[in-house]
Chains A and B, each alone.
Chain A
Amino acid sequence: MTANDFLSIVPLFILTSTAILIMFSISVKRNHKVIYAITLASLLADFVYLMVYMRGTSHSIEPLFIIDGLGVFYIGLILITSLIVAMMSYAYFEQREERKEEYYILLILGTLGASTLVISKHFVSLFLGLEILSVALYSMIAYQRKRERSDEAGIKYLILAAFSSAFLLFGMALVYLVTGTMAFEGIARHLTANDGLSFMLFAGLGLMIVGVGFKLSLVPFHMWAADVYEGAPVPVTAFIATVSKGGVVGLLIRFFVTLNGHQYPTLVLIFTVIAITSMFTGNILALRQNNVKRLLAYSSIAHMGYLLVAFIAGNALGTEAVTFYLVSYFITTLGAFGILAMLSDTEHDAEATEDYRGLFWRRPWAAATFTAMLLSLAGIPLTAGFVGKFYVIAAGVNMQEWLLVVMLAVNSVIGLYYYIRIIAIMFEQQTKAETSNTRLNPAIYIVSSVTLAILTVSLIWLGVFPSGLMGIIKSLL
């Protein structure tokens, strides 16, 4: 490794050393506050380093990694998202869990896995990144063992993720068999030299789509989503919905663009079918959901479907649209789960729609924030969600993907129903007597509230002045 290699991979080193530092710190003395501070400081430092020193980096570490604009942007996005997840974790775990320190190690390692994914250009680094992310997630999902359903969620994720990894590995093996290389560029070279997909190569790529589709909870690999979202602690659910998916999306873009996958009609057809079924399945299953966590799980399935529309459109505009959509989706999802975490009491999470009845009259600020998040998910103007969706549709129209664009519009209308339903419930007058939640030290809530305020402001800021972020994305990609 040269000094240059080392410098360009510093963000990963910072994460690794943080994980080890936390581990030693636990062995000296368990102190939630200290470990929380270490986690936040290192994530922040990592993000600052990335922003200051690594803009415009274009360096590749043969044969595993390529650190370019796309990679730097996605690592930055992942780091800032993990930071927000970590911020909302303190209050949540302080109230509920006896041994909460290991959680931060796993959180950092999960972040490391996702960051590895977005800069990998080789099957080895791809698989290692994916597995680090998955293994960290297994234990994060089942972290609070006293909760009901946490074991169920953990085991479900463990078995299905292992199963999908097997598909991915077999797909990789087939691709390697045909092309004789595991580097993305090598595969692309083989494709152009041999003019098209052979059956074996096609089967390999198809199996890999299964592995990737599982992580993104695309239909028909979505079975785990609702149960895992429901069983996992709220910050972990937020982590799965954002960081884990963001990493895989970054990887998918790099893989597909390097292979120039858009010129193969069969692959595009597969993604089109997956996108349409994801949109419909997600939205229709969410319609009659009375559990907010499950509802958000189904809505995330639909959102990944929307995201695929821009992905299928390909070219530069498509990549920009995917990235912008992802940013707005991250902000919205983090905000929604942040509210969920804040409203939850020590016994169970605020996940039944009943918990939200009359929320506007009890806690107007929380209700207003949640409303903003839901409106953004639905894609109402003046929110980031609207601009994201607009961008996606623009990308689709640009490439004349009329079927997909029409499906997206239809699904947005279906989706509107269940988002608005929750908002309506929040505005209803309360029927039952108020149960006084035992609220802990109010200082704990300050961090959560500030985080949520920042998220809401950026949500509306992006909805009103999206050009700033668009400029950043354009210049980096």
Chain B
Amino acid sequence: MELTFYIASGIAIVATIMVITRYNLIHALLYLVVSFLAVALVFFVLGAPFVAALEVIVYAGAIVVLIIFVIMMLNLKEEAVEEERHWLTRDVFIGPAILSVLLLAELVYIIIQGDTGQIATKAIDAKAVGISLYGPYVIGVELSGILLMAGIVGAYHLGRQKKKVVHRFLEHAEE
């Protein structure tokens, strides 16, 4: 069973390396999704199914969709449509697809085996996570809320103004 852990973490590392070496954003995003899925599987194998589900829902789901929205909003020109046609050719999605199929096979194997293996001493379910978060660590949860508030207020302020973006190295080039 330890092998499942190593395969999943291997896939996570490979996918993440692919993310940072791609030049095309959409290609990088596909690998990013694979990387999140692999990390979710790692969590699952380690006995944290709830965190694994969150990883898929929040990261691979919501956040990646948000990034795709932003990219789509930035490319509104005619040629962008033509460009988008090339984004999903076979060469592009074959890599992420192979990695995902590997992960899927692993997941199916684990489910058929019917236990999470020796690595996890015991699986932590959603109830245990909730009791811990809203029991002893409740101040931590509140502080995370404050953390988000700081982020949102800052993003609101910085995002609402238009600005000439000048780096000091570009100053002379623009003048």
Residue positions of A touching B, CB distance < 8 A? 1, 9, 16, 19, 23, 61-65, 99, 102, 105-106, 109-110, 112-113, 116, 124-125, 128-129, 131-132, 135-136, 138-140, 142-143, 145-146, 148-149, 151-152, 154
24 A–B pairs (Cβ distance < 8 Å), ordered by A: A1-B139, A16-B146, A23-B149, A63-B137, A102-B156, A109-B153, A110-B150, A113-B150, A125-B139, A132-B147, A135-B150, A136-B154, A138-B154, A139-B150, A139-B158, A140-B154, A142-B158, A143-B157, A146-B161, A146-B163, A148-B166, A151-B165, A152-B167, A152-B168
Q: A116-B143, A124-B137 are in contact. Are A19 and B149 (CB under 8 A)?
A: yes
Let me know if A99 and B146 touch, CB within 8 A: no
Q: How many A-B residue pairs have CB under 8 A?
A: 87
Question: Which residues on B sit within 8 Å (CB–CB) of A148?
Answer: 166, 168, 171
- Report which of A63, A110, A135 forms a contact with B151, defined as CB distance below 8 A: A135
Q: A105-B153, A139-B153, A149-B168 are in contact. Are A61 and B139 (CB under 8 A)?
A: yes
Among all A-B residue pairs, the 7 with the closest Cβ atoms: A139-B154, A128-B143, A109-B150, A135-B150, A102-B157, A136-B150, A145-B163
Q: Which of B98-121 contact A (CB under 8 A)?
A: none
CA distance A23 to B140 in the complex (A): 22
Residue in chain A with minimal CB distance to B141? A128
Question: Which residues on A sit within 8 Å (CB–CB) of B165?
Answer: 151
Let me know if B153 and A132 touch, CB within 8 A: no
Would you give the shortest CB distance from B173 to chain A, in whole angstroms?
Answer: 14
- Report which of A61, A62, A132, A146 forms a contact with B150, defined as CB distance below 8 A: A132
- Interface residues of B, count at CB 8 A: 27
Let me know if B140 and A125 touch, CB within 8 A: yes
Question: Which residues on B sit within 8 Å (CB–CB) of A154?
Answer: 158
Beyond known contacts A106-B150, A148-B166: 7 more, CB 8 A cutoff: A19-B149, A106-B153, A109-B149, A109-B150, A131-B147, A138-B154, A148-B168
Q: A63-B136, A105-B153 are in contact. Are A128 and B147 (CB under 8 A)?
A: yes
- Report which of B143, B153, B167, B171 forms a contact with A151, defined as CB distance below 8 A: B167
- Report which of B143, B156, B171 forms a contact with A125, defined as CB distance below 8 A: B143
Q: Is B72 an interface residue (CB 8 A)?
A: no
CA distance A116 to B147 in the complex (A): 12
Q: Is B76 an interface residue (CB 8 A)?
A: no
Question: Which residues on A sit within 8 Å (CB–CB) of B166?
Answer: 148, 151
Let me know if B138 and A1 touch, CB within 8 A: yes
CA distance A179 to B32 in the complex (A): 32
Let me know if B167 and A135 touch, CB within 8 A: no
Let me know if B143 and A129 touch, CB within 8 A: yes
Residue in chain A with minimal CB distance to B154? A139
Question: Which residues on B sit within 8 Å (CB–CB) of A106?
Answer: 150, 153-154
Q: A151-B167, A152-B168 are in contact. Are A102 and B140 (CB under 8 A)?
A: no
Q: Is B73 an interface residue (CB 8 A)?
A: no
CA distance A145 to B155 in the complex (A): 12
Would you give the shortest CB distance from A6 to chain B, in whole angstroms?
Answer: 10
Let me know if A139 and B157 touch, CB within 8 A: yes
Let me know if B154 and A145 touch, CB within 8 A: no
Q: Is B144 an interface residue (CB 8 A)?
A: yes
Question: Which residues on A sit within 8 Å (CB–CB) of B158?
Answer: 139, 142-143, 145, 154
Residue in chain A with minimal CB distance to B166? A148
Residue in chain B with minimal CB distance to A155? B167
Question: Which residues on B sit within 8 Å (CB–CB) of A23?
Answer: 149, 153
Residue in chain A with minimal CB distance to B167? A152
Let me know if B150 and A9 touch, CB within 8 A: no
Would you give the shortest CB distance from B141 to chain A, in whole angstroms?
Answer: 10
- Report which of A64, A128, A145 forms a contact with B161, defined as CB distance below 8 A: A145
CA distance A131 to B146 in the complex (A): 10
Question: Which residues on B sit within 8 Å (CB–CB) of A61?
Answer: 139
CA distance A135 to B149 in the complex (A): 10
Q: A99-B157, A106-B150, A109-B146 are in contact. Are A124 and B167 (CB under 8 A)?
A: no
Question: Which residues on A sit within 8 Å (CB–CB) of B139?
Answer: 1, 9, 61, 64-65, 125
Residue in chain A with minimal CB distance to B140? A124
Q: Which among A102, A142, A145 has the greatest number of chain B C-beta atoms within 10 A?
A: A145
CA distance A135 to B136 in the complex (A): 25
Q: Which among A125, A131, A139 has the greatest number of chain B C-beta atoms within 10 A?
A: A139
CA distance A63 to B132 in the complex (A): 11
Question: Which residues on B sit within 8 Å (CB–CB) of A9?
Answer: 139
CA distance A324 to B160 in the complex (A): 43
CA distance A150 to B144 in the complex (A): 27
Q: A23-B153, A124-B137 are in contact. Are A135 and B168 (CB under 8 A)?
A: no
Question: Which residues on B sit within 8 Å (CB–CB) of A131?
Answer: 147
Question: Which residues on B sit within 8 Å (CB–CB) of A132?
Answer: 143, 146-147, 150
Would you give the shortest CB distance from B87 to chain A, in whole angstroms?
Answer: 28
CA distance A1 to B156 in the complex (A): 34
CA distance A102 to B165 in the complex (A): 22
Let me know if B167 and A102 touch, CB within 8 A: no
Would you give the shortest CB distance from B47 to chain A, in whole angstroms?
Answer: 15
Let me know if B157 and A128 touch, CB within 8 A: no
Question: Which residues on B sit within 8 Å (CB–CB) of A64?
Answer: 136-137, 139-140
CA distance A105 to B142 in the complex (A): 17
Question: Which residues on A sit within 8 Å (CB–CB) of B155?
Answer: 139
Would you give the shortest CB distance from A154 to chain B, in whole angstroms?
Answer: 8
